[in-house]
Structure 1
Amino acid sequence: MLKIDNLTAGYGQSQVLFDVSLSIEAGQVLALMGRNGMGKTTTISAVMGLIPRWGGGVSFDGRGIDRLPPHRVARLGVGLVPEGRQIFPTLTVEENLVATAAIRDGEPARWTLEAVWELFPRLRERRRNLGNRLSGGEQQMLAIGRALMTNPRLLILDEATEGLAPVIRAEIWAVLETLKREGQSILLVDKNLSAVLRLADACAVIEKGRTVWSGTSAELGRATDIHETYLHI
């Protein structure tokens, strides 16, 4: 589905990605892992076309998307839950969701308002509230719901549980488990190793803008040397 080969990218004159490679199959959950500042968010930004790709290749369903702008990447079926949520603060919960609603050509719309309400009952209760009147956890639920309303074939989540209360984190992990059972393809960035190993089928670890390890979650669970070298702060 998504394939990244030897990706290089950066900001201005500063190179951040030097050699990132990974691939995600349809229906698979892949976790992109590494310590802070190693290039995880930059990788996502490059995939989405939010920053220029300097070299290497990015393809989606066999089609090169290296030169596509963000809106065209999204229209192909890539939904993003960005770090920091970035919901529309002066729109209501319902307006936030409706604003991103889309139907993939020739595909039934799995995600509607009612489907999001079922996934996140709290959002139904807050449907008339402005985005800036929600708690951090509710904003994160809204960010996920908003991405789902694009009816994505691939859902990308950048630090979806960071900074949230434990009970909210547990609720979001449960939602991701539900999406996985339904066959949703997911690229996930998160630092919670135990939760990632329970959810993800495969993992890729990056260090200073390079992929240094990739394999199944079971393999990563056994690779304590990788935990110590590349994942622990």
Structure 2
Amino acid sequence: MMLRVEKLAAAYGASQALSGVTFQVGAGEVVTLLGRNGMGKTTTIRAIMGLLPSQGGRVTGGAIGFDGTPLPPLPAHRIARLGLGLVPEGRQVFPTLSVEENLIATARPGRWNLEAAYALFPRLRERRRNLGRNLSGGEQQMLAIGRALMTNPRLLILDEATEGLAPLIRAEIWAVLGRLKAEGQSILLIDKNLSAVLKLADRHVIIERGRSVWEGPSAALAAAPEIREQYLHV
């Protein structure tokens, strides 16, 4: 397995946020983290990427490994260099840099370069000289995905991939993620659009109150209305 998370525990100050998250992501797999708001999904992503300290948090137990390399206590920049690319919640594009400057700011050599990013998102080519702060929400999300891909990650992580986007933009993002999956890109994904993730993902992990409580393939989740009602309220 490429990514292994075992009995992960994490806290913000005296508040325990995670107390037993376990899952894996294999090469070429698409895996989702599902659950209601505040259950620990984003904290799990922050722990994987080494971002908890910047949020006043810390890993307090368990293990995270990427191709056998333990991630905590590595700093975030070293974790990224191992081949993990993040599309963060809220997009977090550089507001005073142009689209093109955003794309190349953290780029690393590999298949994904400017031309490949522009081919994936033609709108970014049209807006390449616009500042990040002047883009629409959908364009910022395209930019955030393109920027993450320009690091040429082995594992692409997206936190709230389509939240708050217009339906047409959401459809475009899902089409792009489908293409990436078909090309063998490993993806770890958080999103509330259950119908879309059921079509895209290989497996799903449900997190409830800081613990992983269910895991299975799309067919199993689609056939379990009681699980969806209990943990996802859908």
Query: Which interval holds the TM-score relative to the shorter structure?
Result: over 0.9
Match of 2:68 in 1: 62
Whichever residue aligns with residue 219 of structure 2, its letter is A
1:126-150 Cα shifts (integer Å, max 9, x gaps)? 0000000100000000000000000
Match of 1:106 in 2: none
1:158-200 Cα shifts (integer Å, max 9, x gaps)? 0010000000000000000000000000000001110000000
State which drifts further: 46-55 or 130-139: 46-55
Match of 1:32 in 2: 33
Whichever residue aligns with residue 66 of structure 1, its letter is P
Q: Tell whether 2:64 aligns with 1:72.
A: no
Q: CA deviation at 1:214?
A: 0.4
Match of 1:140 in 2: 141
1:32-63 Cα shifts (integer Å, max 9, x gaps)? 00000000000000011111211000000111
Q: Tell whether 2:96 aligns with 1:93.
A: no
User: Tell me, what secondary structure is at the counterpart of 2:123?
Assistant: helix
Q: Tell whether 2:18 aligns with 1:17.
A: yes
Q: Distance in 2 between matches of 1:171 and 1:127?
A: 19
Q: 2:87 aligns with which of 75, 81, 86?
A: 81
Instruction: State the superposition RMSD in angstroms.
Output: 0.7
Q: CA deviation at 1:65?
A: 1.1
Q: CA deviation at 1:64?
A: 1.1
TM-score by length of 2: 0.96
Match of 2:213 in 1: 212
Q: Distance in 1 between matches of 2:102 and 2:232?
A: 35
Q: CA deviation at 1:13?
A: 1.6
Matched pairs, number:
228
Q: Tell whether 2:232 aligns with 1:231.
A: yes
Match of 2:164 in 1: 163
Q: Distance in 2 between matches of 1:176 and 1:13?
A: 38
User: Tell me, what secondary structure is at the counterpart of 2:184?
Assistant: coil
Match of 2:180 in 1: 179
User: Tell me, what secondary structure is at the counterpart of 2:43?
Assistant: helix
Q: Distance in 2 between matches of 1:232 and 1:141?
A: 29
Match of 1:48 in 2: 49
1:55-110 Cα shifts (integer Å, max 9, x gaps)? 0000001111121110010000000000000000000000000101013xxxxx11
Match of 2:55 in 1: none
Q: Distance in 2 between matches of 1:156 and 1:145?
A: 12
Whichever residue aligns with residue 81 of structure 2, its letter is R
Q: Distance in 1 between matches of 2:29 and 2:219?
A: 14
Whichever residue aligns with residue 78 of structure 2, its letter is R
TM-score by length of 1: 0.97
Q: Distance in 2 between matches of 1:99 and 1:49?
A: 20
Whichever residue aligns with residue 75 of structure 2, its letter is P
Q: Tell whether 2:6 aligns with 1:5.
A: yes
